[in-house]
Amino acid sequence: MANLSAININVDKNLKDEATAILKDLGLNMSVAINVFLKQIVKRDGLPFEITNPKPSKEEKEALIEGEQIVKDIKAGKRKGYKNMNDLIKALNDD
């Protein structure tokens, strides 16, 4: 018989339910999935995926700054803003 050891963990119920449903579709159960995860940790000598703190690229930072400026300009009355897509389309068609 295998040398087994139990692991008891607390997880969010919704997270567990969603993961269980996905694993079921894959033909796996939680125990098998956790064993696969642990085996990959041992095999890779670390987590089997990268954990990072994503940072926006230079272009993304510039776009965020530009977006903030557009919002300021709209609030200051320097630019026309639209509350919905229909108003935008109407304005484009009127031009």
User: What is residue 61's predicted lDDT score, i.e. its pLDDT?
Assistant: 95
**What tens-digit pLDDT sequence spans the chain (95 residues)?**
579 999 999 999 999 999 999 999 999 999 999 999 999 999 999 999 998 888 999 999 999 999 999 999 999 999 988 889 999 999 899 87
Q: Is residue 7 part of a domain?
A: no
H helices of 1-95, in order, are: 13-25, 30-44, 58-75, 85-94
Whole domain around residue 63: which residue ranges?
58-94
Total tally of structural domains belonging to the chain: 2
Quick check: pTM over 0.85?
Answer: no
Q: Do residues 79 and 69 lie in contact, with contact meaning Cβ atoms separated by under 8 Å?
A: no
Question: What is the reported pLDDT for 2?
Answer: 79
Let me know how long the chain is.
95
Measured CA to CA, the distance from residue 38 to residue 46 in angstroms comes to 10
**How crowded is residue 35: how many other Cβ atoms within 10 Å of its Cβ?**
13
The answer to the question of residue 3 being in a domain is: no
